[in-house]
Chains A and B, each alone.
Chain A
Amino acid sequence: MIDVKHIHKTFYVPGEVKALVDVSASIEPGEVVVVCGPSGSGKSTFLRCLNRLERADSGHIIIDGIDVLHPKTNINKVRAEVGMVFQSFNLFPHKTVFENIALAQHVVRKRSKKECAKKTAFLLDKVGISDKSAAYPDNLSGGQQQRVAIARALAMDPKVMLFDEPTSALDPEMIGEVLEVMKKLAQEGMTMVVVTHEMGFAREVADRIIFMDAGGIVEVGPPEHFFTNPEHERTKLFLNQIL
């Protein structure tokens, strides 16, 4: 489903920051991959390179057979197939919850108003906030906002969902409700790449865990292996710090 080969990404800010150094990974359809690692290790950059919010300097990214980095690729088509959920929700504050979810269906997928309404109602029910359809995002709690953001991404019927620390900006009591929605999604067979520090979620839901440090992938493995028997010193150090 996703094939990443030897990508590099350097920021010039004005000093040189090597955010990604020779990163390769492969994600199968239906797989749930959790990416973890210390802050500044390049997790967000990796995720954002996948849908070209950041453009990798070199290497190849193939999603569902399409070469993301090829100049002739229509990136908007790719992005419509790749849902993304941000740490800070990024809902559209001037639109209602309903409009947040319906807008892109209409202007990108060209669905009729009626189809949009039906799909939106279905998704609102799925993430459990049907009663907030007419509310504006600023009037919702963080957990509700993030669930709307997930519904907004799902509305495009994406083949892959990317989550960048979806619960890091939430008050502790709201983390559960968002993880619950993500868990349900994973059970339905959605392909997911999730950057998170929620190790409980990783242990329970992930098929594989990628550990990143200093712009590179240090270790990849299934949760059992990752938590009980990590190979690398840096992975052990990281696990000691957060568990």
Chain B
Amino acid sequence: MENTLKKPPIIRPPHYNLWVTVFVVFILLIIGSFYYSTQRIEYIWRWNRMPIYFAYLDIVKITSEIDGEVDDITLDGKDAHITVKGMGESETYTVPAKGVYVEDGELISPGDILATYEKWKPGLLIIGLWVTLELSLMATIFGVIIGVVGGLARISSNPAFRWTVMIYVELIRGSPLMVQIIIWYFVLGTVINDILSTYGLGRLSAFWYGVASLSCFAGAYVTEIVRAGIQSIHRGQTEAARSLGMTYAQSMRYIILPQALRSILPPLAGQFISLIKDSSLLGIIAIREVTKAAREAVTASLQPFELYIMLLLLYLVLTFSLSMFVQYLERRTAIK
């Protein structure tokens, strides 16, 4: 007998198509009325100005360093060598042939343009996005390290470990991240940089205090996630491992943590998605992450609507790709 794979019929509620239409109209109405309102306040949309905040063609100028005259211009394929000869000195500059700006024999003062060329440069938003990524990535790494150590200390029988971690977690979870960032930069940062300079060491930049505040913040939440993950593993697993002669560390490493990882992963992903969003607060200590970059771009361009909408979309792209990646990881670590 023929056995074809039939998909089960999709059962739809009554008036399904009608409600789909209602939904589409509703969304269009919201967007439309928003657009209409902006027209009422005479906002001029200039989406065409937005690409420069992602990347733009910069004109790079090659200037002379010495006083003199152009002695020689030789072409060499796509390049040109310009030799400037002054009193007792001579310099040769290699520049793109297309952009040569001077002629043989021209008089040159220091700072005069010899040639120009064009180069693609990342725009303000992309630079900011990169900083946001760097911040989030480092805070994720340090946050996981703090969280694993903290989670293990939290379930330890040693009261010094346990209580220290309990205070840490309460302190972080009970106060706003904004306040923590301010304290890291303006209180701890001042003290640490003072101490560093008395030993003749360089200052730490705001970026590192940003990483520290985010890592500490995430670390506290990860500690709780790791603790819950470990405690979700049945006691019999530890007992079986220890009864074979494994040390505490070995049973954690080979038996408990790999199993805990599966229940840890989903909340951990949620934590790091919030971390990306929370990093937007770091603008207050003058770290030019993507939100701060967008605000600067607004000051310069006076196009707040487009820039802030794009900012929103950029965050969505980041968080959405992260959650996709985590779903992939979850599928990989699922027990066969």
What residues make up the interface of A, taking CB atoms closer than 8 Å to B? 51, 53, 76-84, 86, 88, 90-94, 103-104, 107-108, 136, 138, 149, 152-153, 156
Residues of B within 8 A of A78 (CB): 245
Set B234, B239, B245, B250: member contacting A156, Cβ < 8 A: B245
Question: A77 to B245, Cβ gap below 8 A?
Answer: yes
Listed A/B pairs (27) with beta-carbon separation below 8 Å: A51-B243, A76-B246, A79-B243, A79-B244, A79-B245, A82-B243, A83-B243, A84-B240, A86-B239, A90-B234, A90-B237, A91-B240, A92-B241, A93-B335, A94-B258, A103-B254, A104-B244, A104-B245, A104-B246, A107-B250, A107-B254, A108-B244, A136-B336, A149-B240, A152-B240, A153-B244, A156-B244
Residues of B within 8 A of A156 (CB): 244-245
Residues of B within 8 A of A92 (CB): 237, 240-241, 255, 259
In the complex, residue of chain A having the shortest beta-carbon distance to the beta carbon of B244? A104
In the complex, residue of chain B having the shortest beta-carbon distance to the beta carbon of A77? B245
A152 to B244, CA, bound (A): 8
Residues of B within 8 A of A104 (CB): 241, 244-246
**Residue-wise interface mask of B (217-254) relative to A, using a CB-CB cutoff of 8 A (1 in contact, 0 not):** 00000000000000000101101111111110010001
Set A76, A79, A88: member contacting B236, Cβ < 8 A: A88
B234, B240, B241, B336: residue with the most chain A Cβ atoms closer than 10 Å: B240
Q: Is the interface of B mostly helix, strand, loop or mixed?
A: helix
What residues make up the interface of B, taking CB atoms closer than 8 Å to A? 234, 236-237, 239-247, 250, 254-255, 258-259, 335-336
Known pairs A79-B242, A108-B244, A156-B244 / 8 extra A-B pairs, C-beta < 8 Å:
A76-B245, A86-B239, A88-B236, A90-B237, A94-B258, A94-B335, A107-B246, A108-B250
Shortest Cβ distance from residue A32 to the other chain B in the assembled complex, whole angstroms: 20
Question: A94 to B259, Cβ gap below 8 A?
Answer: yes
Residues of B within 8 A of A138 (CB): 335
Known contacts: A94-B259, A94-B335. The answer to whether A108 contacts B236 by CB under 8 A is no
10 closest Cβ pairs, A-B complex:
A80-B245, A90-B240, A90-B236, A104-B244, A84-B243, A79-B245, A108-B245, A76-B245, A94-B259, A107-B250
In the complex, residue of chain B having the shortest beta-carbon distance to the beta carbon of A100? B240
Residues of A within 8 A of B241 (CB): 92, 104
Residues of B within 8 A of A86 (CB): 236, 239-240
Shortest Cβ distance from residue B171 to the other chain A in the assembled complex, whole angstroms: 30
Residues of A within 8 A of B335 (CB): 93-94, 136, 138
B239, B242, B243, B246: residue with the most chain A Cβ atoms closer than 10 Å: B243
Residues of A within 8 A of B243 (CB): 51, 53, 79, 82-84, 153
B236, B237, B244: residue with the most chain A Cβ atoms closer than 10 Å: B244
Shortest Cβ distance from residue A82 to the other chain B in the assembled complex, whole angstroms: 8
A94 to B259, CA, bound (A): 7
In the complex, residue of chain A having the shortest beta-carbon distance to the beta carbon of B237? A90
Shortest Cβ distance from residue B334 to the other chain A in the assembled complex, whole angstroms: 10
Question: B244 to A93, Cβ gap below 8 A?
Answer: no
A88 to B240, CA, bound (A): 10
Shortest Cβ distance from residue B241 to the other chain A in the assembled complex, whole angstroms: 8
Shortest Cβ distance from residue B256 to the other chain A in the assembled complex, whole angstroms: 10
B245, B250, B258, B335: residue with the most chain A Cβ atoms closer than 10 Å: B245
Shortest Cβ distance from residue A162 to the other chain B in the assembled complex, whole angstroms: 8
Set A53, A80, A94, A107: member contacting B239, Cβ < 8 A: A53
A221 to B237, CA, bound (A): 35
Shortest Cβ distance from residue A84 to the other chain B in the assembled complex, whole angstroms: 4
A61 to B336, CA, bound (A): 42
Shortest Cβ distance from residue A104 to the other chain B in the assembled complex, whole angstroms: 4
Shortest Cβ distance from residue A155 to the other chain B in the assembled complex, whole angstroms: 8
A81 to B239, CA, bound (A): 15
Shortest Cβ distance from residue B147 to the other chain A in the assembled complex, whole angstroms: 21
A104 to B244, CA, bound (A): 7
A108 to B251, CA, bound (A): 11
Question: A80 to B240, Cβ gap below 8 A?
Answer: no
Residues of A within 8 A of B237 (CB): 90, 92
Question: A80 to B244, Cβ gap below 8 A?
Answer: yes
Shortest Cβ distance from residue B49 to the other chain A in the assembled complex, whole angstroms: 54
In the complex, residue of chain A having the shortest beta-carbon distance to the beta carbon of B234? A90
Residues of B within 8 A of A83 (CB): 243
In the complex, residue of chain B having the shortest beta-carbon distance to the beta carbon of A138? B335
Residues of B within 8 A of A76 (CB): 242, 245-247
Residues of A within 8 A of B246 (CB): 76, 104, 107-108
Residues of B within 8 A of A79 (CB): 242-245
Residues of B within 8 A of A82 (CB): 243
Residues of B within 8 A of A107 (CB): 246, 250, 254
Shortest Cβ distance from residue A79 to the other chain B in the assembled complex, whole angstroms: 4
A80 to B242, CA, bound (A): 9
